[in-house]
Structure 1
Amino acid sequence: MEKPLLEEPDEALDFSFVLASSVHDMKNSLGMLLHTLETMLVENPPENDAQRKTFSVLGYEASRINSELVQLLSLYRMQEKSLRVQVDEHFVLDTLEDQIDRNDVLFQARGLAVDVLCDPGLNWFYDNELVGGVINNVLVNGARYSRERLQVRATVEQGTLHIAIADDGEGYPQSMLNAPLEKNAGVSFSRGSTNLGLLFARKVAALHRAENRSGRIHLANGGPLGGGVLTLILP
């Protein structure tokens, strides 16, 4: 009598691994889609406001999904303790401009201006890929909620690096300001938010440590543009 094909009691299915592998494949496919969209926009710029709005939505949604997939993979690797943090010295302005350039097509489609305030000579020790991922996520979200402008500002305050990303939107909802770092924070179907970006930012910040201090994030409303401000603080 033949045994059932699925009877493998000694090899339980690791669903998290299967999910991570699937996410990786989706991320690669979406990356190709983003590249194709960017090429299309360069070769065929929008001719009117209706086309510009359509391209803006396509660019935002594709960038947001790609960013969330990268965050999911990173969080999975953090959980599995397989994520290597590569801290090195970097010029902060280079990191900021890399992420802004990465989303240039999105900003153009949305008609957004991005101001960068950073001393060209400012350097700091951090993992450029992880910190860049946090900045990219905030910029992509900012592109959705901003009206006309975004501001990225980097300063050193009391021996810590502060990278503040501000928008001129309506600001963060009170629920996020009250408990932005809760491990089991809920989702918002009306805003389409899972708080995954905040969790990723908090984890990345906490991975950066120096002299018994750990990195952190801070949310506020008001700011230089009157909207929301997320500040990444690194020791």
Structure 2
Amino acid sequence: MPNSPLEEADDQLDFSFVLASSVHDMKNSLGMLLHTLEDMLAQTPPENEAQRRTFAVLGYEASRINSELVRLLSLYRLQHESLRVHLDEHFVADTLEDQLDRNDVLFQARGLTAEVICDPSLKWYYDSELIGGIINNVLVNGARYSTEHLQVRASEDQGTLCIAIADDGDGYPQSMLDAPFEPNAGVSFSNGSTNLGLLFAHRVAEMHRVNGRQGSLRLENNGPLGGGVLTLRLP
């Protein structure tokens, strides 16, 4: 007996596409939540330490989930070969400042200072959306483990753009330093870490290719602020 039209439609249904569409809707809703939280913090600043901690948790978790959703959509596009790098010339300082502004509520709630050290005239060719997403993810994670400071430093070094994101936390765990770009490296059920953020960042860096050279990512400890430092290099 032949399948009904509805059954045939079900057979052709791509669950990954449905999931990606749902993730997109969730990302938009979460973006509205973050905007509302930002307005609330501006109108009603925390009056005591307990309120500040509550805002910090809300800001961190909302920002983290938003970053995860964006990354899931990007990984979906990467798997289906629809993720492309769009190289254009950008002022590097503008890209970095945009990511700090994006997380201003989170930094305020956690009592952190974040700074950009970059020549305002420095320009480079890269995909601003993808590179901005990498920087945002590192900043959101850094905000969780930093004590007081985060620093983003960018400069030209031997014909490459070098962006170093440093914190004053305890540094990266040894498992991440040993195998930073393995899908299962650094997985922690206690804190929700899957290491997929670093894996995606590594792939995006490598997708930036110029004259046979490609971007790279490196993790180190004992950075300029005493904690961990992630260094992104683009040709």
Partner of 1:141: 141
Task: Output the CA distance in 2 between the equivalents of 1:9 and 1:28.
Answer: 28
Q: Does structure 1 conserve the Cα–Cα contact (< 8 Å) formed by 2:220 and 2:229?
A: yes
Deviation at 1:191, TM superposition (A): 2.8
Partner of 2:225: 225
Q: Does structure 1 conserve the Cα–Cα contact (< 8 Å) formed by 2:124 and 2:161?
A: yes
Letter in 2 for 1:104: D
User: Identity, % of aligned pairs?
Assistant: 76
- Farther off after superposition, 50-59 or 153-162: 153-162
Q: Does structure 1 conserve the Cα–Cα contact (< 8 Å) formed by 2:171 and 2:221?
A: yes
Q: Does structure 1 conserve the Cα–Cα contact (< 8 Å) formed by 2:113 and 2:149?
A: yes
Task: Output the CA distance in 1 between the equivalents of 2:107 and 2:12.
Answer: 46
Q: Does structure 1 conserve the Cα–Cα contact (< 8 Å) formed by 2:87 and 2:127?
A: yes
Letter in 1 for 2:198: L
- Farther off after superposition, 222-231 or 7-16: 7-16
Q: Does structure 1 conserve the Cα–Cα contact (< 8 Å) formed by 2:175 and 2:185?
A: no
State yes or no: 1:128 paired with 2:152: no
Alignment map for 1:85-164 (pairs within 5 Å)? 85-164=85-164
Deviations 1:159-215 (A, max 9, x none): 111100000000000000000012443621123201121012112101100111111
Change in CA separation of 1:96 and 1:80 when aligned onto 2, cut-off 3 Å: same
CA RMSD of aligned residues (A): 1.8
Task: Output the CA distance in 2 between the equivalents of 1:10 and 1:109.
Answer: 47
Deviation at 1:5, TM superposition (A): 8.3
- TM-score, length basis structure 1: 0.95
Which secondary structure state, in structure 2, belongs to the residue aligned with residue 136 of structure 1?
helix
Deviation at 1:119, TM superposition (A): 0.9
State yes or no: 1:63 paired with 2:63: yes
- Farther off after superposition, 196-205 or 51-60: 196-205
Task: Output the CA distance in 1 between the equivalents of 2:204 and 2:106.
Answer: 25
State yes or no: 1:165 paired with 2:160: no
| Structure 1 spans left out of the alignment, 5+ residues | none
Deviations 1:19-70 (A, max 9, x none): 1111111101111111111111111110001000000000000000001100
Task: Output the CA distance in 2 between the equivalents of 1:186 and 1:174.
Answer: 9
Task: Output the CA distance in 1 between the equivalents of 2:125 and 2:2.
Answer: 60
Change in CA separation of 1:228 and 1:159 when aligned onto 2, cut-off 3 Å: same
Partner of 2:76: 76
Partner of 1:198: 198
Task: Output the CA distance in 1 between the equivalents of 2:223 and 2:186.
Answer: 26
State yes or no: 1:187 paired with 2:161: no
| Structure 2 spans left out of the alignment, 5+ residues | none
Deviations 1:121-167 (A, max 9, x none): 11100001110000000001010000000011001112111100000
Q: Does structure 1 conserve the Cα–Cα contact (< 8 Å) formed by 2:184 and 2:195?
A: no
Task: Output the CA distance in 1 between the equivalents of 2:200 and 2:168.
Answer: 23
Deviation at 1:6, TM superposition (A): 6.1
- Farther off after superposition, 65-74 or 194-203: 194-203
Letter in 1 for 2:139: L
